[in-house]
Structure 1
Amino acid sequence: MQQGSSAHAIVVLARGRARVERSLLSSDVLPLGYRGAGDMAGESALVGMESYTENVIAMEDCDVVRVPTSTATALLRDDPALMQALVSTVLQRQAEAEERLTSLLFRPVEGRVVEFLLQAMSRWGVPDARGTVISAPITHLEIAKAIGSTRETVTVTLGVLRREGLLATAGRKLIVVDRDALAMRK
Structure 2
Amino acid sequence: MSLFGQDRSFLHALPANDRRALLAEGAPRHYEPGEIMIRERDTTVYVLALLSGWSVVSVGTERGARLILALRGAGEVVGDLAAVDRRPRSATVTALGQVEAVSISGDRFRRFLAARPHATSLIMRQLVTRLRSADVERRSLASETVLQRLAARLVELAERAGRRAESGTVLELPLPQHDLAAAIGATREAVAKALRLLREQGVVRTAQRTVVVVDMPVLVLLAQGRAHPGAQPSDKRPPAV
Match for residue 230 of structure 2?
none
CA distance in 2, matches of 1:170, 1:9: 38
**Deviation readout 1:40-85 (Å, 9 max, x if unpaired):** 1112223232422211111111111111111111221222322222
C-alpha contact 1:7 1:42 (8 A) present in aligned 2: no
TM-score by length of 1: 0.92
Letter in 1 for 2:39: Q
Runs of 4+ in 1 over 3 A off after TM superposition: none
- Structure 2 stretches of 5 or more lacking a match? 1-37, 224-241
Percent same amino acid at aligned positions? 26
Provide the aligned C-alpha RMSD in A. 1.6
Query: How far is 1:108 from its partner?
Result: 1.0
The answer for unaligned runs of 5 or more in structure 1 is none
Residues 1:28 and 2:65 are matched in the alignment: yes
1:101 aligns to what? 138
2:177: which partner in 1? 140
User: How many equivalent residue pairs?
Assistant: 186
Q: CA deviation at 1:101?
A: 1.0
Q: Which SS does the other structure have where 1:12 is aligned?
A: strand
| Matched-pair contact (CA < 8 Å) for 1:76–1:82 | yes
* Residues in 1 aligned to 2:41 and 2:123: alpha-carbon distance in whole angstroms: 23
Partner of 2:91 in structure 1?
A: 54
Instruction: Give 1:184 deviation, angstroms.
Output: 0.4
Rounded to whole Å, the distance in 1 between the matches of 2:140 and 2:59 is 19
Q: Scaled by the length of structure 2, what TM-score is found?
A: 0.72
Q: 2:216 aligns with which of 159, 179, 184?
A: 179
Q: Please give the alpha-carbon distance, in whole angstroms, between the structure 2 residues aligned to 1:160 and 1:65.
A: 42
Report which of the two structures shows the higher radius of gyration computed on alpha carbons: 2
Partner of 2:27: none
The 5 A counterparts of 1:1-150 are 1-150=38-187
Contact 1:3 1:22 in 2 (8 A): yes
Report how far residue 23 of structure 1 moved: 2.5
Residue identity matched to 1:6: T
